[in-house]
Structure 1
Amino acid sequence: MHTLRHCALAAAGLLLAACAGLPAQASSNQEARPMFSPPAVTAHRGDDDLLAAGLGLQGLRALVPPAFADAAHPTPAELRRRAIWSNWRGIADLAPGGGYGELYGSTAAVPGREFSAYARLPGATQPHRVLVQLPDDFDARKRCVVVTASSGSRGIYGAIAVAGAWGLPRGCAVAYTDKGAGTDYFDLETGQGIALDGTVAAAGDAALAFAPTPASGHGVAFKHAHSQDNPEADWGRHLKQAAQFALEVLSAQYPQQGPFTFANTRVIAVGISNGGGAVLRAAEDPEPWLDAAVAGEPSVLVDGHGARALYDYASEAALLMPCALPQLGIPAMPGLEAKCAALAARGVLSGATLDAQQKDALARLRAAGWSDAGLRAGAISVGFDLWRAIAVAYASAYGRYPHDAHPCGYRYAALGADLAPRSATAAERAAWWADASGIPPGAGVAIVDPQPLADLGLTGLQCLRGLWTGDGADARRVQQGIAATRAAPPRAGLPLVVIHGSDDGLVPPAFSSAPYVAMARAAGRDVRYWQVGNAQHFDAFLGLPHMAAAYLPLLPYVYAALDRVDAYLDGKGDLPADAVIATVPRMGAPLAPANLALPR
């Protein structure tokens, strides 16, 4: 079996080298059609490198995105540069004093080439993106591939600050997957979507990354919610496909050193958030294709050990957290008194006064396993309407609903000044791929609630919650999709480090990483676990002064864990021990090594 697979990869590599216009050969004889589309190859050197698109640290710090010469018709190069700028700023703390590029991390120019393609899983209706960044100084002797998945619903560059920043300067190829999510929006009114190079293309174009069914209607559809594939159930397979694509690219580009196979190439997986969850799903594959894995703040679901599904606690937080937070000293959101009173009238909360209702909301969240530290950090998700955004999109994804059949009646569209749905403009469509972070609201696309404003959004939130707590047909459909995402123990003998901030308010460790580690250890697996004090979920928000004063970034620990497992694979060190890391908040001062207290 291994010999046959290696031969198939070698043959695919030779075909790619001989004719880039031909589809790559399938990496498994179980594939009914080619796994990958013909790859697009672009060179990135000089003022347009792989890691920072020529922007460097100062350009990535700019508050204004790189401009388009023609807002309605940006070039692929302009879109790529802007997407890289957007994804760096969405993941890393690049603010002066935050330590990036000084104490940890790199934005150094790395020249090389990119290989982009679509990949398909058997039975899936939509493709997902894969991308390989191959630096010019690739170390063909070490034969290293870092494979990663975007966090959240981000596009293909969504993990560049995680995997690219560590792997590219070390001469590793870096393989990315958007894991069936991404920023491939589709304008239902004009029948236009996004092509492989990020430009706008018409329905029926073979280059489209996503075409919904039906491909018409009102507003906007996007792949994560509306592919009808429940991509999260296959995130581990998506990650493996990205690694397979990297092997095919390397075999084609280095035929004298080829074939590159899982048996002779080091493959390290890394990801954060639900990209970290994808890493843990890939880790359960019994085939020994992964050499090591690092999962940061992973969104992962297991059976037992106090685990809770993301949809469960997100729909709970969307309903209750705004009323609970003032009891922890967090300023109240506008209109909170009316919302809490309405929840009490509906029987969701108890209490005849605002104070009593707030105390009841807080008590319910604490009883459900929320820590006060997680609730405080979760306030930023309340402010950005992220809890509702997650619940709306994931309900569609788990239930495999088309864009016009959300069980709670939600849809997506551009909004006018009067908050009424309107048609998207050509300039908005052109920027979606580069500017969007994945799940709306953002990049000019908003959630459309079917209820009137006077409803305060509560009917929809109760409907979303009922998809988890209820037993109707729609609830069972969503719950079945969630059940398909449960993780199994990692492969025995796989070096695996899990890292999580103790104050994470979006993916609380008590619901995700801690149950995963307990499950894995109960199965006899050796998983190393770093618990980082004073770290929450979003490094990028540490540019806000009040966040920087209270919290530390998580990326330094992800990079450090990668260093440790790489040295272990080289025979130059041991795997890191478990650690509860007592960090020291910087309180407005520049970040220093003493603040991080990195394990040694």
Structure 2
Amino acid sequence: MDTFGDVRVTEHREGDDLLSAGLGLRALAGAPAKFVNPAAPTTSELRRRAIQSSWRGIADLGPRGGYGTVYGDVPDVPGREFTTFAWLPGARQPHRVLAQVPDTFDRTKRCLVVTASSGSRGIYGSIALAGAWGLSRGCAVAYTDKGTGAGYFDTADGTGVALDGSRAKVGDALLEFGPRGVRADAGIATKHAHSGDNPEADWGRHVLQAARFGLAMLDRAFPDEAPFTAQNTRIIATGISNGGGAVLRAAGDDVDGILDAVVALEPNIHVEGHGRPFFDYATEAALLLPAALAAPEFDGVPFARVGIAAPPAWVLRGASLRAHGKLSGNTPQAQAAEALAMLRAGGWRDEALKVAASSTSLDLWRTVSVAYASAYLRREAGHMPCGFSYRIQHPAGVPAPVDAVLRAAWWADGSGVPPHAGIALEGGIDLSLDPTLPGCLSLRDLWTQGDNDEGTDNARLREGIAATAAALPREGLPVFVVHGAEDGLIPAAFSSEPYVAWLRASGRSPVFWKVPHAQHFDAFLAFPDFGDRHVPLLPFGYAALDRAWAHIASGRPLPEDALVRDTQPRGPGALTAKTLALPPG
């Protein structure tokens, strides 16, 4: 049974709309929206900044990216927002749900888009996909943060984030994440890593709960038209990355037939016995890719020679792995070749590996794996696995309270997984020339080592991951899966492809669009050279939503699978419709 807190209702018109908080496309792509008082932003300023950072984290809004000219739009969409905290049965911590109801909601063609945030982002994390597609079409949009988000809790003073985005102390307001009994010296606690709920296990139920919340808020918005139900309102679930995995999980959990169609982009999806779960290949990449990047196959590849992958770090990783008995080669070249061969043997394809260099250079494999390990093991702050913790980052190493300006912006700017402004990932390092190796080895050992005896960390981690496996959608539910062929973070070979194959072997008929030259982060396409080699995935998601709506609203046949053969890398110029080569309507 759903449990919802008090609902906060706000109106957004006249320069403060639902889709861009009044910023419009140009300002969304510009500098971060300002706070008049940076140490104490207003709730409307926090909302505007949260919407902007969610857009910028997902979409390529750069001048060559084609957003607003080749595909997509950011119209002014006035309307109302209904938001509250919600609980799933047995959950220790709440999560956010939000319904956006545009003034142009079409009550004659009732439509609700339900979505979950990408990555570990907060409540607006999917606005560039679900909001951009649904709101301008007269649909309401229901969001869930699926138990993640940047409602960071500072154990030093017992403050977290209230429903309106402002910071408050435990006891003064109901908090997005308010752990009790945690030590004051435990650092920063985040909901995904430290809630104790393993939220990923419930992502499908989060999505279905958000759909029910959306219907209830439509009843409140239009009482004369109530009730709004799954029988009289068409409901499409859509999401990207972790949000894509969440809507596919919802498809499997939807025993009541709430959903009419599901559109998942680059989903982090796991099927027991098929493909590989994210923690497996992410910890493998964190360990081996820095060494593999020394191979000549990565010469000239964007990001392959910067960040933690920069010389001499990649050579040192190879030598360190040999010292630990993980590689046998005697020279840097032999060690790089051996690491690359091991990755290929694990199912990595070269096109994914080359793009994965970006995640390696930004240290994403390690930082994300830390949060997932803590969530799977249900650890609280101060007791994260492998000696990791999130701590306040102090200038020059001098202890001091967190900077008030940085902390005030966490909810709006945070990704849900530190490190970022003012928060450092500590632990799992030593004083060697390859300082991050101990943590990478320890994280990898959680998956590969141990006897899996009941109660061990290895067994508990595997149980946590097993709880995230997808169930089979009901027969006849339209399911679209859209994935970039060059995705280097959630490779299609480990996720979408085995999932689609499993559905087909089970008598289902999903639509699978595999997009050449598309990778995981559309937002990265603004980087020189990197964007020249790729195309954005978001327009293919919009196109899939168009096809799904035409099918459920007008009975139009579902499209066929598409390897979009005419898609070409963007090149040094601006994106064009010809370069994009969307599947025919």
Q: Compute the TM-score of the two structures, normalised by the length of structure 2.
A: 0.95
1:544 to 515, 522, 527: 527
Residue 449 (str. 1) matches residue 427 (str. 2): yes
Distance in 2 between the 1:569 and 1:394 partners? 36
Match of 2:390 among 392, 412, 424: 412
Q: Output one character per residue of 1:475-516: Cα deviation in whole Å (capped at 9) or x when no partner.
A: 111111000000122111101110000000000000000000
Q: 1:46 to 1:184 in 2, by over 3 A?
A: same
1:56 aligns with 2:24: yes
Q: Which amino acid aligns with 1:208?
A: L
How many Å apart are 1:421 and its aligned residue? Answer: 7.0
Deviation at 1:456, TM superposition (A): 1.1
> Match for residue 336 of structure 2?
358
Say if 2:529 is the partner of 1:510.
no
Question: What is residue 583 of structure 2 aligned with on the other side?
Answer: 599
Matched, 1:475 2:453: no
Q: Aligned runs of 1:8-19 on 2, under 5 Å?
A: none
Q: Is the 8 A contact 1:413 1:424 kept in 2?
A: no
Matches of 2:42 and 2:326, distance apart in 1: 51
- Equivalent of 1:106 in 73, 83, 93: 73
Post-superposition CA distance 1:334-359 (Å, at most 9, x none): 43322321111011222111111111
SS at match of 2:514: strand
**Higher mean C-alpha displacement, 163-172 vs 452-461:** 452-461
1:232-260: CA deviation from partner (whole Å, max 9, x where unpaired): 00000000111111111111221221100
Tell me: CA distance 1:423–1:376, structure 2 relative to 1, closer, same or farther (3 Å).
farther
- Residue pair 1:415, 1:422 contacting (<8 A) in 2 also: no
CA distance in 2, matches of 1:352, 1:406: 36
Separation in 1, partners of 2:429, 2:72: 46
SS state at 1:549 partner? helix
| Partners of 1:514 and 1:430 in 2: CA distance | 42
1:382 matches 2:389: no
Q: Trace 1:104-143 onto structure 2 (pairs within 5 A).
A: 104-143=71-110
Quickly say closer, same or farther: Cα 1:366–1:110, change in 2 above 3 A.
same
SS for the counterpart of 2:41 is coil
Question: Is the partner of 2:385 in helix, strand or coil?
Answer: coil
Among 433, 437, 440, which residue is 2:411 paired with?
A: 433
Alignment partner, residue 269 of structure 1:
237
- Counterparts of 1:462-501 in structure 2 under 5 Å? 462-471=441-450, 473-501=456-484
Letter in 2 for 1:172: C
In structure 2, distance between residues paired with 1:443 and 1:301: 32
Which residue does 1:528 correspond to in 2?
511
The secondary structure found in structure 2 opposite 1:453 is coil
Q: Which residue of 1 aligns with 2:271?
A: 302
Opposite residue 270 of structure 1, the aligned amino acid is: T
> 1:280-291, aligned counterparts within 5 Å?
280-284=248-252, 285-291=254-260
The alignment status of 1:156 with 2:134, answered yes or no, reads no
Residue 78 of structure 1 pairs with residue 61 of structure 2: no
Q: Distance in 1 between matches of 2:406 and 2:280?
A: 33
Instruction: Find the residue that maps to 2:294 and give its secondary structure.
Output: helix
Q: Is the 8 A contact 1:349 1:357 kept in 2?
A: yes
2:557 matched to which residue of 1? 574
- Structure 1 residue 325 displacement after superposition: 1.7
1:443 and 1:260 map into 2 onto residues whose CA distance is: 42
Local SS of the residue matching 1:281 = helix
Checking the alignment, whether the CA contact within 8 Å between 2:149 and 2:416 is kept in structure 1 is yes
Partner of 1:24: none
- What is the match of residue 235 of structure 1? 203
Counterpart residue number, 1:250? 218
Separation of aligned partners in 2, 1:596 and 1:451: 43
What's the C-alpha RMSD, in Å, of the aligned pairs? 1.3
Partner of 1:27: none
Letter in 1 for 2:573: A
Note closer, same or farther for the CA distance 1:496–1:419 as it changes in structure 2 (3 Å cut). Answer: farther
Distance in 2, matches of 1:422 and 1:517, equals: 51
Which secondary structure state, in structure 2, belongs to the residue aligned with residue 299 of structure 1? coil
Q: In 2, Cα distance between the equivalents of 1:480 and 1:445?
A: 30
The answer to whether the 8 A contact 1:270-1:295 is kept is yes
Q: What SS class does the counterpart of residue 387 from structure 2 fall into?
A: coil
* One-letter amino acid matched to 2:518: A
Distance 1:235 1:421, change over 3 A: farther
Query: Which residue does the alignment assign to 1:4?
Result: none
- Indicate if the aligned counterparts of 2:235 and 2:260 stay in contact, CA closer than 8 A: yes
Letter in 2 for 1:288: G
Could you tell me how far 1:419 is from its partner in structure 2?
A: 5.7
Q: Give the conservation status (yes or no) of the 8 Å contact 2:551–2:558.
A: yes
Letter in 1 for 2:486: D
Amino acid at match of 2:364: L
Q: 1:423 to 1:354 in 2, by over 3 A?
A: farther
* Alignment correspondent of 1:7: none
State the partner residue of 1:166. 133
Q: Deviations over 1:307-338 (max 9, x none)?
A: 10100001110111111123122325243322
Contact 1:46 1:111 in 2 (8 A): yes
Q: Which amino acid aligns with 1:458?
A: L
Within the alignment, does 1:293 sit opposite 2:262 as a pair?
Answer: yes
Kept in 1: contact 2:359–2:489 (CA 8 A): yes
- Give the distance between the partners of 2:543 and 2:71, measured in 1 at CA: 9
Secondary structure of 1:197 counterpart: coil
What is the number of equivalent residue pairs in this alignment? Answer: 566
Residue 163 of structure 1 aligns to which amino acid in structure 2? A
Q: Name 2:146's counterpart in structure 1.
A: 179
Q: How does 1:15-30 map to 2 (within 5 A)?
A: none
Check 1:421–1:155 CA distance in 2 against 1; reply closer, same or farther (3 A cut): farther
Amino acid at match of 1:569: I
Question: 1:438 Cα deviation (Å)?
Answer: 1.3
Does the 8 Å CA contact 1:61/1:94 hold for their aligned counterparts? yes
Deviates more, 1:574-583 or 1:224-233: 574-583
1-side partners of 2:130 and 2:64: how far apart? Answer: 23
Could you tell me which amino acid in structure 2 is paired with residue 273 of structure 1? Answer: S
Structure 2 contact 294–333 (Cα < 8 Å) conserved: no
Aligned to 2:5: 37
Name which of 315, 333, 336 aligns with 2:310. 333
Residue type at the aligned position of 2:233 = T
What secondary structure, in the 3-state scheme, does the structure 2 residue paired with 1:271 have? strand
Q: Within 2, Cα distance between the matches of 1:59 and 1:422?
A: 35
Contact 1:304 1:515 in 2 (8 A): no
Unpaired runs of at least 5, structure 2: none
Matched with 1:12 is none
Instruction: Describe the SS at the equivalent of 1:88.
Output: helix
> 2-side partners of 1:145 and 1:350: how far apart?
56
CA drift of 1:420 comes to 7.4
Distance 1:399 1:198 in 2: 28
- Conservation of the 8 A alpha-carbon contact between 1:42 and 1:115: yes
Q: In structure 2, what is the Cα distance between the partners aligned to 1:453 and 1:587?
A: 42
Q: Distance in 2 between matches of 1:133 and 1:453?
A: 50
Question: Which amino acid in structure 1 is aligned with residue 29 of structure 2?
Answer: R
Say which is worse superposed, 226-235 or 216-225, in terms of deviation. 216-225
Give the structure 2 partner of residue 8 of structure 1.
Answer: none
Q: Distance in 2 between matches of 1:536 and 1:288?
A: 32
Question: Residues of 2 paired with 1:534 and 1:349: CA distance?
Answer: 32
Pair 1:194 & 2:155 matched: no
AA of the residue aligned to 1:131:
L
